Every structure is written in structure tokens, then in C-alpha cells.
């Protein structure tokens, strides 16, 4: 017995094949009653889409751009006027990578401003639906934990987010591997001869990564003798006075931080020479502070990965909150600056 076809589903539902194709993808251009009728007909016939055909159509979108391109949303917790205030903020960098990836897959990416005055989750959901947006990426938030107040109609969309700042609801996410990055930073400092390694940052920065930085730092501390263990500084009152007081009492010879630029500035004003007296490495390297040695979080790649998560759901006709959210981890990239002593010379090659 041959497998049921798209034409048979269309005949049973009393619609065109084009309508069936869109309805089975939960395309919002098809009304909900029609989508439900088509999907019921597909279930009755035990219709299954051809996965190889889906791959072929995805390929055609990349080599033969259609006249109409579906739009994927990029939801930013900002007002439009704030967007250009910091071009190196995670959301801006991720947007660049997400745009490139969406275009490569045959989609258009558009920013929607959740931070606009008067914007609510219900209103944003209506805007997305009226614009025919089937899915979106939630950009990194300025502060963690804001997502639980969004009130979006999640059941109507394919969604993914970047990082850990969206706590609730729990959706698919593309994240920097913060735990491994802290381990690599710790190992690099040991390789360069540092022995009293401290971790100092604003507590909210560690909140943003679900405390993975602190967790891995404490693991690293267990590998050191007790006299070499430096208590971390995570404070809600991040300022020079508190930081320098910690420096005096903890006496680290190297500091891991998320705020390399300001830390090196404070050390300089206190006449503590970097890297001669103290080494500094950042696990949150920024392009506007290239003098700091550390790890760049590759936000462009995270944006692209989030698009992949959304598009995969669209190809599988999935909408709503996932039963088992996926987490895609991406490594960082080392950037050598001038805040660490040079690495030891490589051992001579043997014949």
C-alpha cells in the first residue's frame, strides 16, 4: 500500500495542496480552524512528510531565494533608541551573527523591541502573529530573570534564546560554555606560573551565567594547596574601594574577572603594575578593550546557533514550550592581550 500524499490530505480537508503545506507547518497565514482541520486529516490518513524533501526545500531556499521570505523575530529588551548606544553589547553582536545565518537559510531577521514604552507580551504576540512571524530568538537580557514577566503566547511560536538570562520559561538555548572557559582560564594562569589565583567580579555577572563561573573557579581552587587558595570576590556593590580592599587582604598574583577594563584601570590608579605585579585575565573579553587577555564569547556564533534552533523547530512543525529544552554549548576564543606575563617558551622539538 502506497503512503498517503499531500494531495489526498488536501482532498480530505477540502483545501488546496499549498494550504496543506502551510497548515502542516503551523504557518500563521492559515487560520487556526483550517490548520486544525488539515492536521486532523493528516492524522486520519497517517500522513508523514518526506524528510528528504524537507532537506531539498531547505537547500532550494539557500540557492534560489524566493520572492517571499519568512521572517524570524529577534526580541530585544530595549527601546529602539538604545540599540546603538553599545555596539559591543551581547545582543548587538549576536544579532549580527543571527542575521547572517538567517539569510543563509532563506529567512529574514527583524528586531522587535520589547523595551518600548507600553509594550506587553500580549501586544508583542499580536504583532508577531499579524506580521506572520512563525518563530523568534530572545536576545540576551540586560539583567537576568526578566523573561518570566514577558507574557508571550509561547504556544504559537518556535522559540530559542541566547545565554541564561531568560530564566522562565525554559526554552531551547544557545550558550557560551562558561564552565569550561573558567577552567581554561585557570589552567592558562597556572601554565604561566601564577599560583595565587583570585576571581573578582560583580555578583550580577555571575548571576547571568547561572553561577557557572564561580562553580568552576571553586573546583580549580581544590587543585591548589590550602595556602594558595584565594577567596573569591563577588559583590553587589562593585566599586574600586571594595575591590582594592579585597586585593590587600587576599593578595592574589593573578585575577580572573568579567570586567577586565575597569579592573586594570583600578589597579593602575593604585600603582599596582599589570602584568608585572598582578596578572589579569577576563572570561568576558570585549572588542573595545583589546589590551585585556582573555576569552571572547563568540556572540556572533551564538546568534547563528539560536537561529539553527528556531529553524529546526520550524522544519519539524514544532511550536510552543519544549518538553525537554535543548542547550547548545559553544566554546570561546582566546585573545592575547598585554595583561599577563608571556607564556613559557615551547619545549624544543625533538628529532
Q: What's the CATH number where 227 sits?
A: 3.40.50.2300
For residues 143 and 206, the answer to whether their CB atoms sit within 8 Å is no
Q: Are residues 188 and 126 in the same domain?
A: no
Residue 340 lies inside a defined structural domain of this protein = no
Chain position carrying cell 542575521: 99
Q: Are residues 254 and 148 in the same domain?
A: no
Q: Are residues 15 and 112 in the same domain?
A: no
Q: Are residues 189 and 292 in the same domain?
A: yes
Residue 25 lies inside a defined structural domain of this protein = yes
Q: DSSP for 261-316?
A: HHHHHHHHHTT--TTTT-EEEESS--TT-TTSEEEE--HHHHHHHHHHHHHHHHHT
Q: Are residues 14 and 26 in the same domain?
A: yes
Q: Are residues 123 and 78 in the same domain?
A: yes
Looking at the chain, list the stretches that DSSP marks H as alpha helix, in order from N- to C-terminal side: 6-13, 17-24, 32-45, 51-63, 90-104, 121-130, 178-191, 203-208, 212-221, 240-250, 260-269, 299-315
Strand partners, 233: 200
Q: Alpha carbon 48 to chain centroid distance? A: 33
Q: Are residues 166 and 185 in the same domain?
A: no
What Å distances lie between residue 346 and 193, 340, 350, CA to CA? 14, 17, 12
Q: Are residues 99 and 242 in the same domain?
A: no
Q: Are residues 191 and 281 in the same domain?
A: yes
Question: Can you give the residue range of the structural domain that contains 24?
Answer: 6-49
Q: Which pLDDT belongs to residue 349?
A: 45
Q: Which pLDDT belongs to residue 80?
A: 86
Q: Which pLDDT belongs to residue 351?
A: 35
Q: Are residues 173 and 311 in the same domain?
A: yes
Q: At what angle do helices 212-221 and 178-191 cross, to 10 degrees?
A: 40
For residues 6 and 23, the answer to whether their CB atoms sit within 8 Å is no
For residues 140 and 165, the answer to whether their CB atoms sit within 8 Å is yes
Residue 30 lies inside a defined structural domain of this protein = yes
**Which of 296, 316, 340 delimits the end of a domain?**
296
Residue 262 lies inside a defined structural domain of this protein = yes
Residue 339 lies inside a defined structural domain of this protein = no
Q: For every one of its 351 residues, what pLDDT tens digit does the chain have, with 9 covering 90 and above?
A: 577 887 888 888 888 888 887 788 777 678 878 888 888 888 888 887 765 555 555 555 555 555 568 999 999 988 888 888 888 899 999 999 999 999 999 999 999 999 899 999 999 999 999 999 999 999 998 766 555 568 899 999 999 999 998 888 999 999 999 999 999 999 999 999 999 999 999 999 999 999 999 999 999 999 999 999 999 999 999 999 999 999 999 999 999 999 999 999 999 999 999 999 999 999 999 999 999 999 999 999 999 999 999 999 998 889 999 999 999 999 999 999 999 999 887 544 433
Q: Are residues 216 and 280 in the same domain?
A: yes
Domain count of the fold of the chain: 3
Q: Are residues 183 and 266 in the same domain?
A: yes
Q: Which pLDDT belongs to residue 113?
A: 94
Cell for 152? 508571550
Residue 41 lies inside a defined structural domain of this protein = yes
Q: Which pLDDT belongs to residue 291?
A: 96
Residue 65 lies inside a defined structural domain of this protein = no
Predicted TM-score (pTM) of the model is 0.81
Residue 59 lies inside a defined structural domain of this protein = no
Amino acid at each position: 500500500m502506497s503512503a498517503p500524499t499531500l494531495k489526498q490530505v488536501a482532498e480530505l480537508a477540502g483545501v488546496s495542496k499549498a494550504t496543506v503545506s502551510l497548515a502542516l507547518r503551523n504557518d500563521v497565514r492559515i487560520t487556526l480552524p483550517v490548520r486544525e482541520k488539515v492536521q486532523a486529516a493528516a492524522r486520519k490518513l497517517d500522513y508523514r512528510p518526506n524528510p528528504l524533501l524537507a532537506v531539498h526545500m531547505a537547500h532550494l531556499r539557500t540557492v534560489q531565494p524566493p520572492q517571499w521570505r519568512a521572517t524570524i523575530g529577534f526580541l530585544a529588551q530595549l527601546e529602539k533608541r538604545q540599540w546603538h548606544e553599545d555596539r559591543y553589547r551581547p545582543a548587538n553582536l549576536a544579532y549580527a551573527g543571527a542575521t547572517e545565518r538567517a539569510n543563509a537559510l532563506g529567512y529574514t531577521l527583524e528586531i522587535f523591541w520589547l523595551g518600548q514604552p507600553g509594550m506587553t507580551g500580549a501586544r508583542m504576540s499580536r504583532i508577531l502573529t499579524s506580521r506572520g512571524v512563525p518563530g523568534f530568538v530572545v536576545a540576551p537580557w540586560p539583567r537576568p530573570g526578566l523573561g518570566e514577566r514577558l507574557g508571550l503566547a509561547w504556544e504559537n511560536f518556535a522559540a530559542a534564546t541566547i545565554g541564561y538570562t531568560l530564566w522562565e520559561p525554559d526554552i531551547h538555548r544557545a550558550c557560551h560554555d562558561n564552565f569550561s572557559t573558567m577552567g581554561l582560564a585557570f589552567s592558562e594562569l597556572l601554565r604561566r606560573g601564577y599560583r595565587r589565583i583570585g576571581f573578582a567580579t560583580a555578583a550580577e555577572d555571575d548571576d547571568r551565567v547561572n553561577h557557572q563561573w564561580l562553580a568552576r573557579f571553586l573546583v580549580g581552587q581544590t587543585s591548589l594547596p590550602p595556602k594558595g587558595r584565594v577567596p573569591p570576590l563577588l559583590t553587589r556593590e562593585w566599586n574600586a574601594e571594595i575591590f582594592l580592599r579585597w586585593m590587600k587582604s587576599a593578595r592574589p598574583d593573578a585575577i580572573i574577572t568579567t570586567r577586565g577594563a575597569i579592573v586594570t584601570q583600578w589597579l593602575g590608579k593604585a600603582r599596582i603594575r599589570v602584568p608585572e605585579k598582578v596578572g589579569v585575565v577576563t572570561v568576558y573579553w570585549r572588542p573595545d578593550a583589546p589590551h585585556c587577555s582573555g576569552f571572547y564569547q563568540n556572540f556572533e556564533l551564538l546568534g547563528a546557533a539560536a537561529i539553527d534552533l528556531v529553524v529546526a523547530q520550524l522544519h519539524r512543525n514544532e511550536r510552543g514550550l519544549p518538553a525537554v529544552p535543548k542547550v547548545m554549548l559553544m566554546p570561546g576564543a582566546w585573545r592575547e592581550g598585554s595583561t599577563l606575563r608571556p607564556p613559557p617558551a615551547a619545549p624544543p622539538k625533538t628529532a
